[in-house]
Amino acid sequence: MLVDALREAYARLDAVLEPFSCDLSTDCCHFERTGREPWVTDVEWTIVAKALGALGGRDAVAAKNRRTLPIVNEGRCPLLGADGRCSVYSARPLGCRTFFCDRVQGPGRVPRDAVRDALRELQRISEQFSPTSPTGRPLRQRF
Ligand code: SF4
C-alpha cells in the first residue's frame, strides 16, 4: 500500500518532469564528483530491491557494475552500469529523479514546487513505513 503510494508519487513527478532531460554525463551518479549522495529511505529501497531481484540480486548487480581499475575515487554508484545507464532506472530513488544539475535541458526552470511536493509525500510515506528511521541512509550504505 505505502509502496504503491510511493510509486504513484514517482509517476506524478516523472510526468511533470517529462519535458526535461540532461546530457547523460552521469556526474550525479559519481558522488565524490558532486559531493552529493542520495539518501534512500527504506520504502524507496523496497522498490529498488525488487528491481535488483529481477536482475539477479543486489550483490550480483554491484559486482557486474564494479570497475576494476578506478583511476580516482569518484564515488561511483554501485547501480551505475558499465554502459553509463542506471541499472534500476525505473525504480531509482526520488533523489535521482529531480534534475538538480545546472546542465538540465528543458522548457525553462525545473518546477521546484513539484519536487518539493514529491519530497513531502515521500516524507509522509516514509514516516509510516519506517517510523524509527524515516530519513533513510546514504545509497552506498545499502551495499
Ligand atoms: S541509483 Fe541510478 S540514477 Fe541514482 S545515482 Fe545510482 S546509478 Fe545514478
Q: Which ligand 1 atom is nearest residue 48's CA?
A: 1
Q: Torsion over CA of 44, 31, 74 and 104, rounded to 10 degrees? A: 110
pLDDT in tens, 119-130: 999 999 999 999
For ligand 1, what atom is nearest to the CA of residue 88? Answer: 2
% of the chain beyond a pLDDT of 90? 90
Q: Give the per-residue pLDDT at 70.
A: 63
Residue 118 has pLDDT above 90, yes or no: yes
pLDDT at 100: 84
Total domains in the fold of the chain:
1
Specify the residue for cell string 525553462. 108
From the list 54, 16, 128, 38, the residue with the least C-alpha distance to 92 is 38
The pTM score is 0.94
Mutational test site, ligand 1, from 14, 21, 37, 86, max ligand atoms within 8 Å of CB: 86
**What percent of the chain is predicted at pLDDT more than 70?**
98
Would the CB of 22 count as within 6 Å of ligand 1?
no
Q: How far is CA 111 from the centre of its chain?
A: 18
For 50-103, what is each residue's pLDDT tens digit? 999 999 999 999 999 988 766 678 999 999 999 999 999 999 999 999 988 888
Span 2-30, average pLDDT: 96
Q: Residue 45's domain spans which residues?
A: 2-142
DSSP label at residue 6 = H
Q: What's the gap in Å between 129 CA and the centre of ligand 1? A: 22
Q: Which three cell numbers stand for residue 119?
A: 519530497
Which one, of 101, 8, 7, lies nearest residue 48 by Cα? Answer: 7
Nearest-atom index, ligand 1, CA of 77: 6
pLDDT average, residue stretch 101-124: 95
pLDDT for the residue 110 = 94
